[in-house]
Structure 1
């Protein structure tokens, strides 16, 4: 069985959002990683089994890739079940710029395999 990869899709930042929330055109890989690795509702046991996390823009394009070295519980974890991924961003990973096929999931957190990652086409 192929190993799962955790993905988090960032929505476009709204004018009312905090500066650390959401995606904006031209954001750096480091900023995308910081915005995308926390604070999500997720299954901690399933997430920690993944080696990689992909941060996606609203069009499902990979804008950051990082390792999953651990999880940190958020405040009020018992009530809200939110956690942050502990890991390091991987610059120039082969998945950068690829599109991820997430089979219609509206949840920002999803799990995929390498078969769901589509390399960019040369235009």
Structure 2
């Protein structure tokens, strides 16, 4: 599983290629909002990302905000965005991730794939 950790909500830069106005996490956001905030734009190994079946978006406290099945990636300059299907109402959403984010980078890979449900 590919895990992406997002920080506090902030304004997106001018010309965000995903047409986002805000990035990051805030209390009360929906799974769709968390997916849009967290799915890109990142520097990662495209082949490795595509070899993963799921992506998990978490906040800096380790709470799962959204889970999606990875269906592809899109290239945006030297960065990538995930494409996928949100697994709405996944039982992991709203709970602490069973796979703590140990990387200093926002994107990491978790061995074992789907956890907790």
Task: Give the TM-score category using the shorter length.
Answer: 0.7 to 0.9
Q: How does 1:19-30 map to 2 (within 5 A)?
A: 19-30=21-32
CA RMSD of aligned residues (A): 2.1
Equivalent residue for 1:41, pick from 35, 40, 43: 43
TM-score by length of 1: 0.77
Structure with greater proportional helix content: 1
Q: C-alpha separation between the residues in 2 aligned to 1:103 and 1:7?
A: 8
Structure 2 match to 1:86: 83
Aligned residues: 108
Written as runs of structure 1 = structure 2, the 5 A alignment for 1:66-85 is: 66-74=68-76, 76=77, 80=78, 82-85=79-82
Greater than 2 Å deviation, 4+ residue runs: 17-20, 97-104, 113-119
1:47-66 correspondence runs (5 A): 47-66=49-68
Which has more radius of gyration?
1
Larger strand fraction of residues: 2
Question: How far apart are 1:116 and its partner, in Å?
Answer: 9.2
SS of residue in 2 equivalent to 1:30: helix
CA contact (8 A) 1:98 1:118 kept: no
Structure 1: gaps (5+ residues): none
